[in-house]
Structure 1
Amino acid sequence: MSARLRQARKERGWSQERLVHEIERYARQKLLNIASTASLRVYVSEWENARRSIGPLYAAILRALLGLTDRELLGGDTLAAQPLVVDGYDDLISRIESAHSLSLGMVDTFMRQTELLRTVDRQMGAAALVDQMLAHLAALEEALTFAVLPSAREPIARGLAGAATLAAWQALDVGATERAWRHYELGKRAAAEAKEPMYLAHAMAEQAYVLSAAGKPELAVQLVQEAHRSVGSNASPRLNAWLHAAEAELLAQAGQADACRRSLDRAASALPDGTSDRDPDMPSIFLNRNHMTRWRGNVLARLGDDAAMSDLYDALAGMDSTFTRAAAGLHCDLVQAHLAREEQDQAIGHLRQARHLANRTGSARQPARIEQLSTRL
């Protein structure tokens, strides 16, 4: 418990005093009664030094602030799967009938819930969505467990594949890498059962980012390439472009500049024309020319290529204001690009913007990058 709380706090660049401030701010917003500032300072210190257990009220607050599950925050098997208790055949049949009804009438509702969670995540970050996301996955897994025929199982599995991949990306953003990996594995299994090669390829390619973050960029490149091979001609044009762009980013992280540029060119060629950014067959894909320009700028900035600057400013001009986390990343890319030109003043301005936006999302990855860039100023 103590080590994970301290680690999560430090991943955000927060002091203990900052954590106390965030607890108080959250409590004011939610109209919660909490201890005084002086007592909270003692609590945080005692929590981190394993001298005080975290009660239910403060566990709920810390989950929302830090994007952790109870198990990650408190340790042990708090959220371990409970054994299934079936009270005879009547209860079993009841569950099977409920799952059948869900597949016929409620899968669209679950898909809309996934879309709502995706929208909130895009604007406000993933940290506050842990409880909702886990409950959403649990409901879909329960339905799939008791669905019998393929006609009932496949629609549920498709919904679970999309939700699990979203949950994995959220977990990766808040620094819960093991949880991210497990969610991607769940998403891949669900996609395979749903007979959805595009969902499977998307989950594999996103999972490659976990490997890259863990210091295995070459293996990450191999995984995203295998994802692309696995979907083959079944990929929609937009997913095809997305996979090439993801490969380019991972190649940049692996230091393979020439191969990276070739993948960027293939991504641009594969992307459909028009302003639409959604793939009707892959709701998790957001990609149009402006998004691709931002992605290309990010990749070129990582390579130290001066051409990144024009792409990044073009992307900033056309940025959708609801993409808060993406905007924070874009300002980080501009910091990197200006530093490559030794333009300190401009870099400082974008770093300030990036920090402001990252604080709104509860991301762990972005503050780490911001801190890394700030050491170069």
Structure 2
Amino acid sequence: MSPASLKTYVSEWENGRRSVGEDDRSILRSIYGLNDQELFGEQAEVHSVLDDAYSELARRIEESKSVDLGMVNTLAGQTELFRSWDRQMGAPSLADQLSAHISTLENALAYTVLPSARRPVARVLSGAATLAGWQALDVGGVDRAWRHYELARRAAAEAQSPALMAHAMGEQAYVLVDAGKPDLAYELICEAVSSAQDSAPDRVVAWLCAAEAEIAAIVGQADASHAALERAAASLPGGDEMRDPEVPGVFLNDTHLKRWRGNVRTLLGETEAVGELCAALELMDGTFTRAEGSLRIDLAQGYFASGKLGEAREQARLARSLANRTGSLRNRRRLDRITLQISTEDN
């Protein structure tokens, strides 16, 4: 550049109106025999930023030491409270609280260093994420549900729990059903069952087999559906207990399986399903509000298939009330379909 231009450039450099390009930096380093830090003082600022970042990281890691077994149990207890509220009152009122809870667990896991300390946190995170996934699916948030289940699977892998992994895969299969991919859902649930056979508690295996039966019925595989129901019954431990500590999100005993079997037989168009559903309704725990709504929708479908339109309408009415109470968009959609069928038959 000309001497006049160089004077202008130097003035602008000195007054901070123009940045020094790399070519000019190279020339200036050669002329003065200095490095960038000595010429421009920029590295000191970079070092300050880096020092702050490392200090913040060290602080977070230090804070994570407080996440001991007692804290993990507290976080697990919070998840259980959310789970109880969800099955009785539904998902919409919990979305923000559960999202904050999951963020707390993710942060705790991210800054906990030792694998032995990480695994308990990951177990709780996987359970919370599957709960959030089912809630999102229930209110029509299909993509959000999918992401929650992906998080649940990653956390299950971190926790080294094949049972949690299989459960997350099993629930994720329902996202594929609702997204119009039932065949892929069937493949996924079959893989989940296969992975759990020798590594998960019997109650979890029974739950997965029942889910396989339902999705097999959806894709029209009647024989496979009945076979899966038989495997579910054979795997399910006896007694009234419905929980397993390995996967707290699974609720299944003989009464729940009766309801599920009735649902599957309804999907297969078997009129005998009505008797099984009525028996399950008699025995059902009243705190499972959303599940009762689903059962009554199955009953409405079964009565409709049997030509008992009055009974079908009554069950649809009761199911609508429960769906409104829990905010279940998923159940409302099912109700809209059966209500349309009943109205068409009336006309």
TM-score normalized with structure 2 length: 0.83
Compared CA separation, residues 200 and 345, structure 1 to 2 (3 A): same
CA-CA distance at 1:308 after TM superposition? 0.5
Aligned pair 1:340/2:305, yes or no? yes
CA-CA distance at 1:86 after TM superposition? 9.0
Mapped partners of 1:220, 1:138: distance in 2: 28
1:277/1:288 contact within 8 Å kept? yes
One-letter identity of the residue aligned with 1:99: S
Aligned pair 1:276/2:236, yes or no? no
Match of 1:288 among 232, 243, 253: 253
Aligned residue number for residue 7 of structure 2: none
One-letter identity of the residue aligned with 1:350: Q
Q: Aligned to 1:282, what secondary structure does the other structure show?
A: coil
Post-superposition Cα deviations, 1:207-246, rounded to whole Å, max 9, x if no partner, equal 0001111111111010011112223311111011101100
TM-score normalized with structure 1 length: 0.76
The correspondence of residues 1-377 of structure 1 with structure 2, limited to 5 A, is 87-377=52-342
Compared CA separation, residues 154 and 86, structure 1 to 2 (3 A): farther
One-letter identity of the residue aligned with 2:98: M
One-letter identity of the residue aligned with 1:102: V
Higher-Rg member (1/2): 2
Greater relative contact order structure (CA < 8 Å, 6+ sep): 1
Mapped partners of 2:137, 2:149: distance in 1: 10
Q: Aligned to 1:305, what secondary structure does the other structure show?
A: coil
Aligned residue number for residue 59 of structure 1: none
1:144/1:157 contact within 8 Å kept? yes
1:332/1:350 contact within 8 Å kept? yes
CA-CA distance at 1:88 after TM superposition? 3.5
Percent of paired sites with the same residue: 54
Unaligned runs of 5+ in 1: 1-84
CA-CA distance at 1:286 after TM superposition? 0.4
Unaligned runs of 5+ in 2: 1-49, 343-347
Mapped partners of 1:299, 1:232: distance in 2: 22
Instruction: Tell me the C-alpha RMSD between the 2 structures.
Output: 1.2
Post-superposition Cα deviations, 1:235-285, rounded to whole Å, max 9, x if no partner, equal 111011101100000001111111101111111111111011111221111
Mapped partners of 1:86, 1:164: distance in 2: 35
CA-CA distance at 1:100 after TM superposition? 2.1
Mapped partners of 2:215, 2:65: distance in 1: 41
